[in-house]
């Protein structure tokens, strides 16, 4: 059994290739966690977020750093979703603050092949 990962990079994202490279780099781990998360999707009344990968992107200067995060979310109604977030961490005066911007949404489906294929959904 294989996987097809549809990556829908949102229109405002400047670094589309960077997002696609990030998903491609972590595709095996994402598929593995997605399979495990499907078993939890029957849970009701709770929201679960599972971080798949977090990767340092660049320092923005001063006390700000930027990361890309790839995670699977299971909502209260049992729906599975997967996202790539741009996380800017600002630490000034020893107070940490995080800003998140969702860059892409992923859809994952099982295939008959044994490969994991990445497809850009919004070409």
The pLDDT tens digits of the residues spanning 24-36 come to 999 999 999 988 8
pTM: 0.82
Judged against a pLDDT cut of 90, whether residue 12 lies above it is answered with no
CB contact burial 37-66 (16+ within 10 A = b; e otherwise): beeeeeeeeeeeeeebbeeeeeeeeeeebe
**Overall domain count for the chain:** 1
**Which is higher by pLDDT, 68 or 76?**
68
Once rounded to an integer, what is the mean pLDDT over residues 88-112?
Answer: 86
Angle, vertex CA 55, rays to CA 69 and CA 36, nearest 5: 55
**Which is higher by pLDDT, 61 or 6?**
6
Q: How many CB atoms lie within 10 A of CB 34?
A: 20
Domain range spanning residue 23? 2-120
**Mean pLDDT score of the chain:** 86
pLDDT for 30: 92
Provide the pLDDT confidence category of residue 98 given band limits of 50, 70 and 90. confident
Instruction: Assign residue 35 a region (left: φ > 0; alpha: ψ between -120 and 50; beta: otherwise).
Output: alpha
**Which is higher by pLDDT, 123 or 40?**
40
Provide the pLDDT confidence category of residue 44 given band limits of 50, 70 and 90. low
Judged against a pLDDT cut of 60, whether residue 96 lies above it is answered with yes
């Amino acid at each position: 059994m294989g996987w097809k990962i549809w990556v829908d990079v949102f229109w405002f994202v400047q670094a589309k290739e960077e997002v696609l490279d990030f998903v491609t780099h972590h595709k095996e781990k994402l598929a593995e966690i997605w399979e495990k998360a499907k078993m939890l999707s029957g849970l009701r009344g709770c929201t679960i977020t599972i971080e798949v990968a977090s990767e340092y992107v660049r320092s923005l200067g001063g006390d700000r750093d930027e990361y890309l995060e790839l995670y699977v979310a299971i909502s209260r109604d049992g729906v599975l979703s997967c996202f790539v977030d741009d996380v800017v961490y600002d630490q000034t005066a020893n107070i940490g603050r995080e800003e998140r911007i969702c860059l892409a949404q992923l859809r994952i489906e099982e295939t008959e092949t044994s490969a994991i294929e990445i497809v850009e959904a919004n070409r």
